[in-house]
A and B are shown apart, each in its own frame.
Chain A
Amino acid sequence: MTVNGKKASATVESRTLLVQLLREHLGLTGTHVGCDTSQCGACVVHVNGESVKSCTYLAVQAAGKEVLTIEGLATGDELHPMQAAFREHHGLQCGFCTPGMVLSAVDLLKNNKKPTEHEIREWLEGNLCRCTGYHNIVKAIQAASETMAG
């Protein structure tokens, strides 16, 4: 498989989850395990360009595919516009849900370049944040959609 643009390989059991492969085998601990029941979205990564919950995805199912985690989003020292917008608009407090929020939001903008506030809130159905009340997260995503649309 490819992880964040680099070839990666590991020998895992059939029951190993993608999130375990990323965190425990590849040391990419930016992907979090929150609820472990596919509800909270802290574990969201992209597989072949689409957001998925890596706690409900077998590592073997990702064989040969392209995985993107939060560690692979920035270009060198330059934050991805979505990361920059989360920082600018204070779209986080404790930060636990943030990697999943950011990757989910990036997937939203792939499908809908100028989402309305309602569409953003609907999209975030699968990402839980217990600190912010979502308000600044929504603001950050709206701002990023402006930046990214140029």
Chain B
Amino acid sequence: MYEFAYNRPTSLEEAVKALAADADAKPLAGGMTLLPTIKQRLAKPSALFDLSGIASLAYIKRAGDGLEIGAMTRHVDVARSADVQQVIPALAQLAGGIGDPQVRNRGTMGGSVANSDPAADYPAGVLGLGATIVTNKREIKADDFFTGLFSTALAEGELITAIRFPKPEKAHYKKFPNPASRYAIVGVFVAKFASGARVAVTGAGPYVFRVPEMEKALTASFTPAAVKDIKVSDKDLNKDLHASPEYRAHLVTVMARRAVEAMV
């Protein structure tokens, strides 16, 4: 690791101000991606601002019919929350399947979403549920938030403070995990709202994306049969030693069908 300065601000204002003053400084959430990246010398921040000292960023509360979850809320707390299990059980299930127990004891929702890792689980839940990302400056719809591989609509120095989730009629997340890392080779989040179905896919492409054709079919008929023959194009899908684009495209259909099967 290269050297860096470590700071633990106790208020959001303090963190935002400090980050704005140093373009090479980085916010540290759970650190489950950032610390390994720094250890491998793939990142060289001048300073880390550890957000774990800002108590107001870690909470889960009911907001209207849905939920509002603070950015620094850890995966373990989402997975075990009675409120999440009751209002959006699929989100608790998703959080409980991230990485391993020690990663879930540290990793946070805001950190995962801000990172937009192509194989992370939370982006599928956030986009699949049509959540709203609340930052220190504004509110961003999930559809506008994820913009590319490790890229989001967040501006420099803009921090996620919370994410608001509407309550679906039902939802389910099905992932085909990499057996070693538990990252999604393909993960599909399917949600059914009164207004229609949403289908979000992680792991398959450079960043999370929706599948309009499946959404249309599921809105017309919320059955496994409605999606089982819908293929997505393998063009631009990820290729690595774990899976080819063709295989990932195939898995999108299979995971979508299984997610729907789990709900009907």
Chain A residues close to B by CB (< 8 Å): 13-15, 36-39, 41, 44, 50-53, 56-58, 60-61, 104, 107-108, 123, 125-127
Contacts and interface: CB of A to CB of B under 8 A. Distances in A.
Interface of B: 1-6, 31-32, 35-36, 38-39, 48, 50, 52, 76, 99-103, 105-106, 180-182
Contact of A53 (B48, B52, B76, B102): B102
B48 A14 contact: yes
Contacts of A44: 102
B52 A61 contact: yes
Contact of B32 (A38, A50, A104, A127): A38
A41 B100 contact: yes
Contacts of B39: 36-37, 56
A126 B101 contact: yes
Nearest to A50: B105
A107 B101 contact: yes
Contact of A123 (B3, B5, B50, B101): B101
Contacts of B99: 125-126
22 contacts: A13-B3, A14-B4, A15-B1, A15-B3, A37-B36, A38-B102, A39-B180, A51-B105, A53-B102, A56-B31, A56-B35, A56-B36, A56-B39, A57-B106, A58-B6, A61-B31, A61-B50, A104-B102, A125-B99, A125-B100, A126-B102, A127-B100
Contacts, number: 66
A15 B50 contact: no
A56 B32 contact: yes
Contacts of B182: 125
A52 B1 CA distance: 20
Contacts of B101: 51, 104, 107-108, 123, 125-126
Nearest to A55: B39
Given A50-B105, A108-B101, A125-B100, 16 more contacts: A14-B3, A14-B6, A15-B3, A15-B38, A36-B39, A38-B32, A44-B102, A52-B102, A52-B105, A53-B102, A53-B106, A57-B35, A126-B99, A126-B102, A126-B103, A127-B100
A15 B102 contact: no
Contacts of A37: 36, 39
Nearest to A107: B101
A61 to B, nearest CB: 7
B2 A15 contact: yes
By CB atoms of chain A within 10 A, which of B3, B36, B50, B182 has the most?
B36
Contacts of A123: 101
Nearest to A59: B6
A56 B106 contact: yes
A75 B137 CA distance: 52
B17 to A, nearest CB: 20
A57 B1 CA distance: 13
Contacts of A53: 102-103, 106
A57 B106 CA distance: 9
A38 B30 CA distance: 13
Nearest to B106: A52
